[in-house]
Amino acid sequence: MLRFTTEDQRDVADFHQLHDSAKESGFGRIFRSPSLFEDMVKSILLCNSTWEKTLGMASNLCKMQSKLADLRSKKRKRDPKPEIERPGNFPSVKEIASLDKEFINEHCKLGYRAKWIVALAKKVERGTLDLEEIEKREIGPEQVIGKLKPSKGFGVFVTATVLMCIGYYHVVPSDTETLRLLREMHGMEECSTQGREAQQLYDRFSPFQSLAYWFDMVKNYETKHGKLSELSPLYYNKVASMAVSEFLPKEYGYVVIVLVLYCFLNLWMGFQVGGARKRYKVPYPTLYAIESENKDAKLFNCVQRGHQNSLEMMPMYFLLMILGGMKHPCISTGLGLLYNISRFFYFKGYSTGDPIKRLTIGKYGFLAMLGLAVCTISFAITLIRSSA
């Protein structure tokens, strides 16, 4: 639904004074749900989820209302008609507050979001969070943020979206779609979901930063999918579905190449072990030779151990490369190359039969692993902050 209040008319006119392209296209109004509570819930459903999955969860909530009606009907009748799954209205504050997260997850599959939504509904139902006061803009945006912040689920993105629904447009909602937009439309590669870069970019349209952001977002979608108002409902859930290549930075390709190089290195080490078996007469499936039975046992065991140690370290190396590279692809690529090279010399040194020589250059591989661990921790902190 659209709002047509005097305040909204004034906001759109003021925004058009700052944004000529928006004025030419008539852009400036946003669709809203019938209630602020519904807008809040739908914003929470967007957290760490694809657009398609978010639509599915919202649809399940509407279907849940019809199931609630069926349950009430069963209590009144001994022989009720069979259940028919049908869409209903979006559940009210009172209906959600009366349920527990287990029931909601059973029917709607909201995951951890169910707990947040039930807690929000109970706050509103008890009156500790006055949505009417917020929606009428009787308090300023900073006060609104202060009231929402204690509630779980109201991080940077959700809070900015709720503010926009109320009519405060100064905070740009920032998530992975924002990062994609900044990369595609503005060539900004190094961005974070904290939204600092996006906020600075649109500050020239103050106090309508989020409207300017959504103008660019809609323009970006329509470049790919055509006019959104003419889009088939069957295709609507695909509009904001990001491909892996859109989510990951383009430099992540270097991370992939380094991992593939390690796979070839691992194959080469395997062939060296196979050659050592023939050379030192150690048949399969013997893992390590026994010195009392084979005079070359130590030489073979050193070659075998060099490969075995590399296999033991490989899962941790791959995990840290894959995760750390998502935020720091170039640094991870450099550290990965260092690890690959050090592993080669680690194996060569071990293969001499003198275990000490494995660390001459091979020791730098542990330094590379430490650096990758730092990159991964940095990525984890970014995720925690973006969903806090």
DSSP letter string, 257-313: HHHHHHHHHHHHHHHHHHHHHHHHT--TT-SS--TTT-TTHHHHHHHHHHHHHHHHH
CA distance 218 to 225: 10
Which secondary structure element, helix H or strand E, spans residue 49, and what is its range? none
3-state secondary structure of 150: coil
Identify the CA nearest to 8 among candidates 32, 36, 24.
32
Q: What is the rounded average pLDDT of the residues 295-317?
A: 95
Of 3.30.70.120, 1.20.120.550, 3.40.50.300, 3.30.40.230, which CATH number belongs to 252-386? 1.20.120.550
* Predicted local distance difference test score (pLDDT) of residue 2: 59
| pLDDT value, residue 78 | 52
Select the more confidently predicted residue: 82 or 1: 1
Q: At the topology level of CATH, where does 32-166 sit?
A: Endonuclease III; domain 1 (1.10.340)
C-alpha distances in Å from residue 355, one per residue of 125, 274, 345, 347, 349:
70, 19, 12, 10, 7
- In eight-state DSSP terms, residue 171 is S
**pLDDT recorded at residue 80:** 52
Domain ranges of the chain: 1-31+169-242, 32-166, 252-386
The pLDDT-based confidence of 159 (bands split at 50, 70, 90) is very high
pLDDT digits (tens, 9 = 90+) for 349-379: 999 999 999 999 999 999 999 999 999 999 8
Report CA dihedral (342, 343, 344, 350) to the nearest 10 degrees. 110
pLDDT band at 176 (very low <50, low <70, confident <90, very high): confident
What is the pLDDT, as a whole number, of residue 388?
46
pTM for the full predicted model: 0.63
User: Is residue 298 predicted with pLDDT exceeding 90?
Assistant: yes
Q: What is the mean pLDDT of residues 275-299?
A: 92
pLDDT at 79 over 70: no
The answer to whether the beta carbons of residues 387 and 48 sit under 8 Å apart is yes
Query: Is pLDDT of 74 > 60?
Result: no
Neighbours of 82 (CB within 10 A): 5
Considering the chain, what is the average pLDDT of its residues?
Answer: 87
End-to-end CA distance of the chain, in Å? 30
More confident residue, 157 or 384: 157
Please identify which residue in the block is written with the tokens 């007469």.
281
